[in-house]
Structures are given as C-alpha cells and as structure tokens.
Amino acid sequence: MEETYKDRTSLMKGAKDIAKEVKRQAVKKVNKAVEKAQDGYTQRSYNRFQDEEDDDDYYVQGGNYGVEANDDEGSSEATEGHDEDDEIYEGEYQGVPSMGGKDGMVALGQPMRDEYKDRRELETERKADEEELAQQYELIIQECGHGRFQWALFFVLGMALMADGVEVFVVGFVLPSAETDMCIPNSGSGWLGSIVYLGMMVGAFFWGGLADKVGRRQSLLICMSVNGFFAFLSSFVQGYGFFLFCRLFSGFGIGGAVPTVFSYFSEVLAREKRGEHLSWLCMFWMIGGIYASAMAWAIIPHYGWSFSMGSAYQFHSWRVFVIVCALPCVSSVVALTFMPESPRFLLEVGKHDEAWMILKQIHDTNMRARGQPEKVFTVNRIKTPKQIDELIEIESDTGTWYRRCFVRIRTELYGIWLTFMRCFNYPVKDNTIKLTAVWFTLSFGYYGLSVWFPDVIKHLQSDEYASRVKHFRNEEVSHFVFNFTLENQIHSNGEYINDRFIMMKFKSVTFEDSLFKNCVFEDITSLNTYFRNCTFVNTTFYNTDLEQYKFVDSELINCTFFHIRTGCQISFDDDYSAYWIYFVNFLGTLAVLPGNIVSALLMDRIGRLTMLGGSMVLSGISCFFLWFGTSESMMIGMLCLYNGLTISAWNSLDVITVELYPTDRRATGFGFLNALCKAAAVLGNLIFGSLVGITKAIPILLASTVLVCGGLVGLRLPDTRTQVLM
C-alpha cells in the first residue's frame, strides 16, 4: 500500500515536471517569436533565430546564456496560475463588450508593432479603419433607430442655433438706440456691426477646430457660455468702448454654434434621415430671427421702461431687449449639460467604451419610447481607427505653470491649424475649393442684399418724408406763445420778437436766416433740428437740449443758457419709424418658413445638389425684379420673395458640407467655411451699403451674377445623398 502511494506520488511529481518543462518550452518559443518579429534589421539575424528554433541549450532569459531556467522563471505572471479566459475586461462591470484580446499579448504571426512603422503606414491603416467604421456605424445608427433621443437633441441644438440667429439680428436692432444712448458719433457707428461679424468669423474657425479636438458637446458648451456671459454683460455696460468689447466676445462665442451644431446632430442621424432632419434644424435660425424681431418690436420703442441710478447710470429699453435676446443661449447651455457627447467623435479618437455606452443609451431610449424595452442592443464590437499619437513636449519639471499653459495652448492651436490644412489634402481638396466658392458667393449676395433692402426702404421713406416738408418764408411773429410740436418744416427769413417757445418738440425743423429777439426757449426737445445763419439777441434758453452744434453759422448776442441738457436723448415716444423697421425684418424672416418646409420635405427626394443649384439660380433671377421696386410695399414683397428662395440654398449647403468632410475634419472644415461666410457678409455690407441711394444697377447685377455663378459651381459638387457619413 505504501509503495503504491509512493508510486502515485512519483507519478504526480513526474507529471508536474513534464508540465513545467512544456510550459518552459512554450515560453521559450514565444520569446523567440518576439525576438524574430522585433529584429528586422538584417536577414542574417532573422535566419540565426530560425536555426536556433530547436536548440534548447542556448535559451536566453534575462541575459543568461546556457543556464536552465528555474521554475519561477518559467512561470511568469502571464502564464503561472493565470487563465486568460477568466481575465476581467476593464469596463466589463459596465456591460461594455471587449475589443479583443489582452493588450500587449504577443503571438506568432502578430503584425509589426506601431513603433516600428513609419507614419505613412499608420495613416494608411487608419484610413482603412475609418472606412470600415463608417459602414459599421451606419448600421449601428439604423439599429438604434430614430426617436426620442434624436428629438431631444434636436431641440437642445435648435436653441443654440436660435441663439446664433438672434445674434445676427440683435445688433441691427439696438444700433440706432445704442448710438443715441451712448452718444456715438457717425464715424464710430459702423464699428458695432462690423466688430460682431469679426468676432463670429474668428469664433467659427476656432470653435470648429476645437470641436474636432475635444469633442462637439464640450466645445459647444464653452462657446455658448462665452456668448451668454458677454451678452448679459453688454446690456449693463455704459461706455461705448466696453460695449464693443462685450459684443466682440459675444460674437466670438456664438461663432462656434453653427459648425458644431450641424456636425453634432449629423453624427446621430441615419443616412435616410440626415437631409430632412438637418433641414428641420435650420428652422431654428429662422425662429431666432422672428424672436429677435418680435422682441425688438415689443420692447425697444417703449422708452418709458428705462430707469436711472443717479446721473452716471442709465438703463433704457434697448438694454432690456439685449437681456431677453440672451435667453435662448442660456437655455441651450442648461439643456446641453444633460446630453452626451457624439459617439461618432468618441470612436474617431479611440474611446470605444464611452461610445458603446452612449450608443446603447440611444438605442434603449428610443426602444423604450416605442414600447419595446425588451429589445437588446446587439452590437458587441465597434471598429475604432488606429490612433496616431502626437508627441507634445511640455516642461513639466522645470517650467512654470504659465509656461506649461502657454505650451499647451500653443500646441492645441497648432493642432487646429494642422487639421485645417488637412482640409486641403486629397481627397477633400477639390470639395473644399468648390465649397469655398459657393459659401462666399451665397453669403456675399444674401447679406449684401439683406442690408441693401432695409436701407433702400429707409431712403424711400426719407424721400417721401422730404416731399411733404412745409416751407414758411418771411414770417413775422411777435408776442406769441408756441406750445405745440413742429415737425418736418423749414422756416426761412423769419423774425420772431418777444416770442415764447415752451414745452415744445422740434422734429426735423430748420430755421434759416432768421432773427430771434427777446425770446425764451424753455423745456425744448429737438431731433434733427438746426438753426442755420440765424441771429439771437437777448434770448434765454432754459432746460433745453439745444447745444452749440445745432447753431450752424449763427450769431448769439447777449444770450443766456440755463440747465442745458447735454448728451444724447432717446427719440420721441411717437416715433413710429422703429416699429416699421422691426415689422419689415419680421416679415422678411417669416417669409423663410415656406422655403424651410419645402427644402426639408424635398432634400432627400430631389437631392442636395438640385436644391442648392436651383435655389441659387432662382434667387439670382429674382434680383431682376428689383428694377420695379419703386415703393415700400413693392420692396417688402421683393425682400420676402428673395428670402424665401434663398433659404433652400442655405439648408442644402449646410447638409452637403457636413456630409463631404470626414469626422476628424468635419467641424474644422465647416468652421472655416462659416468664417468665410462672415467675411463675405462684411464685404457685402460695405459694397452694397455704399451704393444705397446712388444706383440700382450695380447691386442688382452684382448680386445676380455672384448667385448664379455660385449655383453653377454648386452643381459640380459630388452627390452625398446615398453616402454614409465618413
């Protein structure tokens, strides 16, 4: 019995020895395979490893030659007491499927490691991975379905796009009141509109590039927060310089809304839904314009809403309007905190686990809304492109904190610039050039005429107002009390002796070559009122706003001024011209609604290119109808027609742009084109604004030509209706 036990013990010990020897041989072969894969310098070295494949006397372990490895050396952490099938995948506790085997595990036939490949090989592999991911991601989004999640994100991003529409309109609406309230000279009034577009131009390029670096959601949150903060601040500042500063940074913040919003939303839409729902999203820009017009109409002309804190701080109704216009931005920031990052972006940067969890959230949210909570998300593995690491040198040990911040900021800006330059590489180079031409021509024509239309209407109003002016010549009035409003009058060669002008309003009144002797002006409010080549003798001015600049080439003899109201005054309560301007913009924005609906319904049916080219050509043709615009009503009709035709081009151009650029350059390319759009808008404002009241021929021919040419170039773009999102 004892010998049987000893035999069994010897047998077990022998089995263990055999197992250890087998394990040692396996480790030896694995190590030799690793050396063969890593030693690629000469073929002779490779053959040397092949010749030694069956040689057990020269096993190399830790630099020892010809020494048999002990049990501990043969039992590494990778083999001893470790079952690879029982390994817990990082994220398994969250239900995230594994991407594959253990990182760093080397097996026979494994490809060469990345550090031994040049950058061109890595980029080729990454491109192949991206193409595979594009096809797979389209199938995943189709499995997730279109439902509650997309509609929630639709309204959140719509508020951000609405804030962009408000920002474009708010400057034009507050400019007249802000100029008067802050005593802005005519030479500086044009800076307000230009500086906002400058901020939006820089912001579109910067935030679009940042969205491709840090993510769509994070970039949008930061840029909208910047816009909301400086928009609120601008409503309280008093100085014109500080006001310009706030509006500059407000425009800089909102500049990132359009490129980031469209890139974000397009990446959660399936191919058959993308064109239609991106077009519906464009409606929020129109809603922003309607909101701004309606609020301006309801708030700004109510000058009685103002209050003051002493003589140094004045808060008028236009400042209330600025606060109200910042509300869509604040709402979008709050709602955006509850939304996840774009899963397509996360996959692009190699964050498989986070992307899988968000896609599962989209699937589960939509399935619960459909009444199918039991439906399981069947995706187990998603392809992630090969990541090409960029080396960043930061003086972490010896450098100061501000030095490290400077290097980090410089590196990020350089990364944005490199991504932008890749937009001009094959195969997207030709598309970028064509899109540049289309964006520039459409923006130049649209914004140029958008400024020209209201200015033409104001000139028509001014001409009609001037045609109704009343002339009074050789008046002789003495011992009379004037206590009523004088408007749109010219008084020439008059004599006013011992007259009293009390509690009066002068609106667009001019006195020429007249004599005022022993007169009293008391509690006078004036607008566009001047005394040219007049003589004042023994005249008293009490509590009036008749400053020195209103007396042009006039002589004042023994005159006294008491309590003169200096500075600028808001216009009269009965000045209805503001109502008319807001109403015209409201109608022009509302006319976009039919075009929005038509473009959304037909975008996936007739195609993006047909919509883009047809809309721009028709818009160019409609410009010729401006020849017949001789009245206010006709010009308003032309404005509505033009806006209704142009909106289809804008919607289709937005859709084409996000579909033509790959994910790693989508927001950057869109941001560059949107920045170009703002530059073209400024150029169009300058050119068309200088032609107001001079001639109709040049604006009409210029706008028509650029729109038609841009439409023809747009027809040369590739059709993206049937393509997956690269």
Q: Residue 229's pLDDT band (boundaries 50, 70, 90)?
A: very high
pLDDT, greater one: 250 or 82: 250
pLDDT exceeds 80 at position 264: yes
369 exposed, middle or buried (CB, 10 Å; 0-12, 13-18, 19+)? middle
DSSP 193-211: HHHHHHHHHHHHHHHHHHH
Tens-digit pLDDT profile for residues 184-195: 655 555 666 678
A 10 A CB-CB count for 688 gives: 24
Fold assignment, 470-562: Pectate Lyase C-like (2.160.20)
Distances (CA, A) of 45 to 29, 35, 49, 52, 392: 17, 10, 7, 11, 35
Residue 13 CB contacts under 8 Å (≥ 6 apart), including other chains: none
Read off the pLDDT of residues 1-16 as tens digits, 9 standing for 90 and up: 444 444 445 545 655 5
Identify the three-state secondary structure at position 254.
helix
Rg (CA), the chain: 37
Q: What is the per-residue pLDDT across 65-80, written as a single tens digit (0 to 9) for each?
A: 333 334 433 333 333 3
Q: Determine the 3-state secondary structure of 573 from DSSP.
A: coil
Longest dimension (CA), the chain: 150
**pLDDT for the residue numbered 52:** 39
Average pLDDT over residues 421-449: 84
Query: What's the CA angle centered on 222, arms 204 and 178, to 5 degrees?
Result: 70
Residue of 536 and 698 predicted with greater confidence? 536
Can you give the three-state secondary structure of 15-73, one letter per residue? HHHHHHHHHHHHHHHHHHHHHHHHCCCCHHHHHHHHHCCCCCCCCCECCECCCCCCHHH
Which one-letter DSSP state was computed for residue 77?
T
What is the distance between the alpha carbons of residues 113 and 156, in angstroms, rounded to a whole number? Answer: 44
CA distance linking residue 166 with residue 571, whole number of Å: 24
What pLDDT is recorded for position 465? 75
Check whether 116 has a pLDDT greater than 60: no
**CA atoms within 13 Å, Cβ hemisphere of 368:** 8
Residue 247 pLDDT > 50: yes
Domain residue ranges in the chain: 470-562
Predicted confidence at residue 243, as pLDDT, reads: 79
pLDDT > 70? residue 107: no
Percent of the chain with pLDDT over 70: 71
| Band (515; pLDDT cuts 50, 70, 90) | very high
Three-class secondary structure of residue 567 per DSSP: coil
> Would you say residue 49 has pLDDT above 70?
no
Distance CA 639, CA 617 (A): 16
Between 638 and 344, whose confidence is greater?
A: 344
Mean pLDDT check: name the lowest of 87-96, 406-415, 454-463: 87-96
pLDDT higher than 80, residue 337: yes
Task: Express each pLDDT in 662-716 by its tens digit.
Answer: 877 888 888 889 888 888 888 887 787 777 667 777 777 888 888 888 888 888 8
Task: Give the pLDDT score at 212.
Answer: 85
Q: Which residues pair with 64 in a beta bridge?
A: 61
What number is the average pLDDT over the span 165-183? 73
Residue 678 CB burial class (10 angstroms; 0-12, 13-18, ≥19): buried
- 27 close to 72: Cβ distance less than 8 angstroms: no
Q: 111 versus 441: which is more confidently predicted?
A: 441
Do 665 and 419 meet the contact criterion of CB atoms below 8 Å apart? yes
Phi, psi of 674 (to 5 degrees): -70, -35
Amino acid 677: pLDDT: 87
Identify the band that residue 614 occupies on the pLDDT scale cut at 50, 70 and 90.
confident
Q: Please tell me what DSSP assigns to residue 61.
A: B
Report whether 396 contacts 366 (CB < 8 A): no
Is it the case that residue 549 has pLDDT exceeding 70? yes
pLDDT of 237 strictly over 90: no
CA distance 328 to 232: 12
Asked which of 25-39, 167-181, 275-289, 351-365 is least confident by mean pLDDT, the reply is 25-39
pLDDT surpasses 90 at 534:
yes
